[in-house]
Amino acid sequence: MKLRDYAGKLAELENSFVEYANRFLTAEPLFNRNIILKREHSLRVRRECTEIVKSLEISDHDRFLAEVAGLFHDVGRFEQYTRHRTFVDLKSEDHGQLGIAVLKKLNFLDGFDAADAGHILTAISCHNRRAIPEEVSGRELLMSKVVRDADKLDIMHIMIDYFRHPETNDTVTLDLEDSPAISEPIIRSVSRRENVAMRDLRTVTDFKIAQLGWVYDLNFPRSFQIYLERGYHYELLKHLPENPEISGLFEIIDSYILDKAGE
């Protein structure tokens, strides 16, 4: 397949995705806001994947597969929100696995051979896990890392925009308590450069600190460069309490980002 053919196929899949997402729109504005939020997030994640894979020495075919995985990574969110009125997996169901079921049911990946479809599904399955399972390797591991990075970059965009222009939408902040309180497991995990367990989040401040710690789960120099160019951690710091503990964490994270972005 030539490069223009990949672009044409991707545009076709994107149109199918938008048509699918739009099926969930209703006459309820507040409900629609969150459907649109995930629709636009998915489209931007696909573009973030494009930016990341351009920096990698991989085939055009694998770049295409990573972009497709990015496009469909949250396809389960629409069913999830319709059924449960939440995006919190612990209160509903695993949206990665739900997305795989949706893709299979609606035959979105018809036309892909079994191996390529498998790589896409694995990347979708891994995108929302605390860590990529050790058995994932090769091309599947690469695609999983691309989608995880792209997803985090755009969620940072969403959250910072939300904190800059606060509104009442508990779905965005995972139904967490809007409090300056910080839970000890959150500080401990970020200090150890570990991904925060979603079950440990208690407050919106916990969520903000967990997002600062996401840099330890980024995988590619280009991802760090994008993060740094947009100043995500500097902006997030403006919306955190001022105390020595957070300042110390921030200094460590800032140094880590600068180092990784220069690789």
Domain match, 92 and 13 both: yes
Helix (H) or strand (E) holding 259: helix 244-261
Q: What is the pLDDT of residue 2?
A: 63
Q: What is the pLDDT of residue 168?
A: 64
Total-model pTM: 0.94
d(CA 121, CA 43): 17
- 217-226 in b/e burial notation, b at 16+ Cβ within 10 A? bbbbebbbbb
- Count the domains in the chain: 2
Q: What is the pLDDT of residue 1?
A: 65
Q: What is the pLDDT of residue 169?
A: 75
d(CA 205, CA 187): 11
Domain match, 137 and 196 both: no
Domain match, 127 and 222 both: no
Q: Counting Cβ atoms within 10 Å, is residue 5 exposed (0-12), middle (13-18) or buried (19+)?
A: exposed
Low-confidence ranges of the chain (pLDDT < 50): none
Domain match, 247 and 195 both: yes
Domain match, 200 and 255 both: yes
As a residue count, the chain comes to 263
Tens digits of residue pLDDT in 51-64:
999 999 999 999 99
Domain match, 19 and 135 both: yes
d(CA 118, CA 69): 10
Domain match, 124 and 180 both: no
In this structure, what CATH number is given to the domain that contains residue 53? 1.10.3210.10
